[in-house]
Amino acid sequence: MANTVTINGDQRKFVLNPDVKLYALIDAGFQKTARGNFVYEHPLYNESPYNATTKLKMTVKSDLSHLTMVVTDPSGLQKVNIFKNKQLAPTVELLNYILKDLEERKILSEVKD
């Protein structure tokens, strides 16, 4: 896990907000794992979440110190770059909406260079 993360193909960098709270993670849809970490998976879809070709996966360490974030294929095994295909513009738009929501909930913060 890393303190600063980028999504494959994206220029932005994100970190956990220093004010992140456990209840904010749960309210946003993070699930607690057996190891105590928090996992968030959201299908990035145009019409139906059941036909989603990609999904956003995030993991926050149990002590709220580290973050991982990746866009994967439906199986969750392969990283996908949704930024290089213009046909995936709606997917990028949905990803931006999710990231903005997580910033407003004080879970993520974008790193400004």
Tell me the pLDDT tens digit for each residue of 84-100: 988 888 899 999 999 99
Reduced to 3 states (helix: H, G, I; strand: E, B; else coil), residue 110 is strand
Q: What is the per-residue pLDDT for 58?
A: 95
Reduced to 3 states (helix: H, G, I; strand: E, B; else coil), residue 17 is coil
pLDDT in tens, 11-35: 999 999 999 999 999 999 999 999 9
pLDDT higher than threshold 80 for residue 102 = yes
CATH superfamily of 2-106: Lp2179-like (3.30.1820.10)
Tokens of 100: 């903005």
User: Does 1 or 81 have the greater pLDDT score?
Assistant: 81
pLDDT in tens, 52-81: 889 999 999 999 989 999 999 888 889 999
Pairwise CA distance, residues 19 & 17, whole Å: 5
pLDDT higher than threshold 70 for residue 1 = no
Q: If residue 68 lies in a helix (H) or strand (E), which one and from where to where? A: strand 67-72
- List helix spans (H) across 1-113: 22-28, 89-104
Alpha-carbon dihedral sign for residues 9, 12, 18, 24: negative
